[in-house]
């Protein structure tokens, strides 16, 4: 007996799944029953198996299927983002991520420095949309413990985090500037080895996920759940904006999520090795970044991205 598997909603799934497959019904029945609860198998004598997978795979809006141009901050889009940000204020991080995936995938991405918040979001995306492209801005100055998390993510979730690097190596960059520029001008160093790299990495994308929390610093206190990021011309989604540090670490502990072992040595916020130190008791969690400079942000999360 031959069964034909046909999707009732071919536009909602990938081309691979929409192909008509002929399989032996005897072997197909238990497999479909376990994997696709929506599968309807009326009788072994009937040669048609109708699989409705539309509820399992999110539909993408027309902007993802047809529009390949850079997203423009039209008034209609900004209104939508303000409305969605308000509506998502009480949503869980998982619900926020599901909305972002349904609205923007496959042009939805994530940049991570492998911090606790980033690892938490990666854990969620592994369950919601593991195909989401994730990348790290590899400045050449990161701790080895930070880079080791890339392998742990691959082992745990099967997700390959891409390392995005500047055009110049550390040696070339320091030769150009007569030594480590971070010692004299960390703002320019961050711009050259982070901001420019993200601008290039995000080319062709419409939205990106950020791990910022409002309680991290005054600079981040007014961050919306969803907003327009002027610097990168992207929609910025911050699913953990309403979470606290305790919320993040409870998630990590409850689900045994991998994290940077430097956190156990007093490093609350971890960036490039030369510009990061452990924090003292009672200090702000970002006090260990660019110590000695009037600088607490690398420039990825400025407040001029508010919509």
pLDDT digits (tens, 9 = 90+) for 103-120: 999 999 999 999 999 999
Q: Do 47 and 164 have their domain in common?
A: no
Active site residue 298: yes
Mean pLDDT, all residues of the chain: 79
Judge contact between 227 and 81, C-beta under 8 A: yes
Residue 251 lies in a domain: yes
| Domains of the chain: total | 2
Q: State in Å, rounded, how far the first CA of the chain is from the last one.
A: 58
Q: Do 79 and 34 have their domain in common?
A: no
Question: Which residues are within 8 A (CB) of 162 and not within 5 positions of it... i.e. 6 or more apart?
Answer: 133, 134, 135, 136
What's residue 288's pLDDT?
Answer: 66
Q: Do 301 and 177 have their domain in common?
A: yes
Tell me the percentage of the chain whose pLDDT exceeds 70: 69
Q: Do 96 and 24 have their domain in common?
A: no
Judge contact between 244 and 213, C-beta under 8 A: yes
Residue 181: pLDDT band with limits 50, 70, 90: very high
Q: Do 275 and 129 have their domain in common?
A: yes
What's residue 15's pLDDT?
Answer: 36
Regarding predicted confidence, which is higher, 242 or 46? 242
Residue 128 lies in a domain: yes
Q: Do 156 and 249 have their domain in common?
A: yes
Whether pLDDT at 289 is above 50: yes
What's residue 86's pLDDT?
Answer: 98
**What is d(CA 160, CA 126) in angstroms, rounded to the nearest whole number?**
11
Judge contact between 220 and 244, C-beta under 8 A: no
pLDDT digits (tens, 9 = 90+) for 137-165: 999 999 999 999 999 999 999 999 999 99
Residue 57 lies in a domain: no
**What is d(CA 113, CA 119) in angstroms, rounded to the nearest whole number?**
9
Give the strands of the sheet with 226-229, arranged side by side: 162-164, 134-137, 108-111, 207-209, 234-237, 226-229
Residue 296 lies in a domain: yes
Residue 163 lies in a domain: yes
Q: Do 92 and 189 have their domain in common?
A: yes
Residue 189 lies in a domain: yes
Q: How many CA atoms lie within 13 A of 183 on its CB side?
A: 5
- Which range of residues forms the domain containing residue 286? 62-305
pLDDT digits (tens, 9 = 90+) for 43-63: 444 344 433 333 333 444 433
**What is d(CA 232, CA 110) in angstroms, rounded to the nearest whole number?**
13
Q: Do 237 and 142 have their domain in common?
A: yes
Among the ranges given (12-16, 41-45, 149-153, 279-283), the one the predictor scored with the smallest mean pLDDT: 12-16
Which candidate in 39, 190, 275, 298 is catalytic? Answer: 298
Q: Do 45 and 141 have their domain in common?
A: no
Residue 214 lies in a domain: yes
Average pLDDT over every residue of 236-245: 97
Q: Do 35 and 71 have their domain in common?
A: no
């Amino acid at each position: 007996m031959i069964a034909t598997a046909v999707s009732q909603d071919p536009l909602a799934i990938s081309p691979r799944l929409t192909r008509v497959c002929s399989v032996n019904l005897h072997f197909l029945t238990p497999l479909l029953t376990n994997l696709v609860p929506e599968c309807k198998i009326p009788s072994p004598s009937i040669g048609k198996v109708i699989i409705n997978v539309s509820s399992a795979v999110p539909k993408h809006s027309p902007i993802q299927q047809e529009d390949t141009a850079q997203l423009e901050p039209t008034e209609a889009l900004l209104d939508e983002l303000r409305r969605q940000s308000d509506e998502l204020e009480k949503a869980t991080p998982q619900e926020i991520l599901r909305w972002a995936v349904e609205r923007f995938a496959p042009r939805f991405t994530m940049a991570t420095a492998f911090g606790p918040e980033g690892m938490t979001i990666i854990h969620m995306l592994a369950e919601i949309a593991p195909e989401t492209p994730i990348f790290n801005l590899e400045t050449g100055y990161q701790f080895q413990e930070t880079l080791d998390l890339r392998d742990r993510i691959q082992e745990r979730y099967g997700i390959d985090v891409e390392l995005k690097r500047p055009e110049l190596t550390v040696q070339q960059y320091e030769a150009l500037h007569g030594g480590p520029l971070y010692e004299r001008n960390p703002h320019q160093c961050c711009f050259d080895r982070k901001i420019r790299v993200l601008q290039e990495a995000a080319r062709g994308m419409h939205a990106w996920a950020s791990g910022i929390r409002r309680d991290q610093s005054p600079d981040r206190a007014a961050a919306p759940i969803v907003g327009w990021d002027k610097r990168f011309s992207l929609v910025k989604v911050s699913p953990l904006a309403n979470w606290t540090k305790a919320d993040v670490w409870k998630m990590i502990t409850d689900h045994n999520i991998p994290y940077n072992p430097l956190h156990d040595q007093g490093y609350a916020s971890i960036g490039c090795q030369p510009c990061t130190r452990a924090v003292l008791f009672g200090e702000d969690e970002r006090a260990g970044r660019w110590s000695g400079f009037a600088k607490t942000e690398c420039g990825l999360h400025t407040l001029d991205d508010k919509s």
